[in-house]
Structure 1
Amino acid sequence: MTHNKLYDYSPIIDRPPLTWPNGARVAVYAGLNVEHFLLGAPSTSIWPGTADLTPDPLNHGWRDYGPRVGIWRTIDALDRHGLRASALLNSTAAQQYPRIIEAGVERDWAWLAHGETNSKLHTGLARDEEREALAGIVGTIEQATGTRPRGWMGPGLTETHHTPELLAELGLSYVLDWTADDQPFRLNVPGMISVPYSVELNDLMLLDRSGPDFVRMVADQYEVLHAEGGRVLALALHPFVTGQAFRHKYLDQALGHLAAAPDVWLTTSDDIAEHYLRTQVGRI
């Protein structure tokens, strides 16, 4: 297969203008990864030298710092600057971390389905097997949070060729996996759209960068998107990265910069999708 049948080519310069509520030029959301990792499975690692060991205290402990410590700093920073998280939630994390779920429900977070666990990519599933798996993931998150997810991002941004269609069957309306644009766009699945996410404006890119670099990246991204208008700034956060004490103050600075910037809509991925579906679908 050489052509992606999921969506069509659409140059951004040929589209009708995209407007946000109250004349905002940039829609900003924080994609907060709330993930669970299996003890004996390799996954995101700070040092690959021990990643295949069981147990792997070095890397597993680094990841486990997120739900134990880092996320609470991140929540404080989001609260301070008036951002509701778009929580990218593993269904296993929904079961394992009730205090995080409680905190998110209190703050009216948007809850997105983020697969079962970030130790397993969402791939290699037959259609019926995937339908059952997705129903279990969505149902577990709905039971834990009291809210049925409206969006999806696969672990490691993974899907099968059937994922968007099967998600639509379950009542979801958007995915974050296809980081191909600065605006939402329609998929060739009825009722399904893509909402921007970022693999570059993403704190995992900080592992070999400084905190001030991250603040500069956020400010530069906003500046260009503001000049263009009708764009989405997605800030991808992992609590075991920007939740580290020495990085936290730079996350706080970046959020403060965005909160004080002109013409910004501080929102969630759910609300971006809803606005786009209501105002744009059918016009492109």
Structure 2
Amino acid sequence: MTSTRQNDLFDYSPITDRQPIRWPDGARVAVYVGLNIEHFLIDRPSTSIWPGTADLVPDALNYGWRDYGPRVGIWRTIESLDRHGIQASVLLNSAVADHYPQIISAGLERNWAWLAHGRTNSILQAGMTREEERRYLADVVGTIAAATGRQPRGWMGPGLTETFNTPSLLAELGLDYVLDWTNDDQPYRLNVPGMISVPYTVELNDLLLFGNGTTGPEFVQIVKDQYEQLHTDAEHSGRVMALALHPFVIGQPFRHKYLDQALAYLVAQPDVWLTTSDEIAGHFQRMSRE
């Protein structure tokens, strides 16, 4: 079947043809840590380390691997973030508020930025009608706002999924940016009033990197290489670097010191703006209005 639907969510905009972006204090690269804090269902196939048991119920092997994140991995990851003074941008499944309230409390103590990330990463929203999705998004956003005391501004879908209605429905709920479209090194406007896209990454992402055999030292070098190239690119216009982390991956003991090394490198860079996705979105929106 040949598709005839055109992409009307955003326009083509080559990065060489845009107005320059200036980050605060002359920084060249805005860096944020996208910390995925998720809840998985025990009776649904989900992200797996070994597909051989993924369709079993219960799937002790893969569920246990994922469940290491909220039980152990998140606390080890928090240690590193605290040590380097980094405020996380948390991609939060709303079900976390019910199942892991201690994590919400830890984030409130650290003033994390809270982004809506669906209800659970075991269920995607593809196929929902507009009304079904409106109710779903309202529940997700409302649950997170009640748990954190703050209305989320940003959205990333479970598995980076959207429907054609998602951005406009999010705008109705008061959100103003999405991370799902990993196609740029700068924020850009969507063709939905008030909505922008902020860069995220499926490449500089522990789940994909380590899942494809990347070693700890290679991970550190990849972080350095990413920053160095973006720093070069940003000579005349700022860039965004997202570092995507999952506690059940990066929180494994044998990877911990490599996260520490990567964060130490980023903190030491003189031209970096270590910030949150909320701050990046807000700065871009303000700059665009000037």
Whether these two folds match at TM > 0.5 is yes
- Tell me the equivalent position of 2:21: 18
Q: 2:52 matched to 1:44?
A: no
**1:135-214 aligned within 5 A:** 135-204=138-207, 205-207=209-211, 208-214=213-219
User: Who is 2:224 aligned against?
Assistant: 219
- For the residue of structure 1 that corresponds to 2:125, the secondary structure is coil
Structure 1 counterpart of 2:255, one-letter code: R
Task: Tell me what 2:12 maps to.
Answer: 9
Match of 2:132 in 1: 129
- Counterpart of 1:252, as a letter, is D
Query: Equivalents in 2 of 1:185, 1:281: separation in Å?
Result: 13
In structure 2, the gaps of 5 or more residues are none
Question: Given residue 32 of structure 1, which amino acid in structure 2 is its aligned partner?
Answer: L
Map 1:101-116 to 2 at 5 A: 101-116=104-119
Amino acid at match of 1:84: Q
**What amino acid is the match of 1:12?**
I
* 2:285 is aligned with 1:277: yes
- What is the TM-score normalised by the length of structure 1? 0.98
Identify the residue that residue 232 of structure 1 maps to in structure 2: 240
Q: What is aligned with 1:263?
A: 271
Give every structure 1 segment of 4 or more consecutive aligned residues whose post-TM-superposition deviation is greater than 6 Å: none
CA drift at 1:281: 5.1
Match of 1:60 in 2: 63
Does the 8 Å contact 1:114/1:153 carry over to 2?
Answer: yes
Distance 1:257 1:122 in 2: 37
SS at structure 1 position matched to 2:199: coil
Contact between 1:186 and 1:281, CA under 8 Å: does it hold in 2? no
**Alignment RMSD, CA only?**
0.9
Q: Secondary structure at the match of 2:160?
A: coil
1:2 deviation in Å?
Answer: 4.6
CA contact (8 A) 1:29 1:85 kept: yes
Quote the Cα distance in structure 2 between the aligned partners of 1:84 and 1:4: 34
Query: Which secondary structure state, in structure 1, belongs to the residue aligned with residue 34 of structure 2?
Result: strand
Deviation at 1:94, TM superposition (A): 1.8
The count of residues paired between Structure 1 and Structure 2 equals 282
In 2, Cα distance between equivalents of 1:268 and 1:235? 11
* Amino acid corresponding to residue 206 of structure 1 in structure 2: F
- Normalised to the residue count of structure 2, the TM-score between the two structures is 0.96
Amino acid at match of 2:215: S
The alpha carbon displacement at 1:280 in A equals 2.0
Tell me the alpha carbon deviations over residues 133-163 of structure 1, each in whole angstroms, 9 at most, x when there is no partner: 1000000001111111000000000000000
Deviation at 1:3, TM superposition (A): 2.6
Alpha-carbon deviation of 1:262?
1.6
2:255 corresponds to which of 219, 222, 247: 247
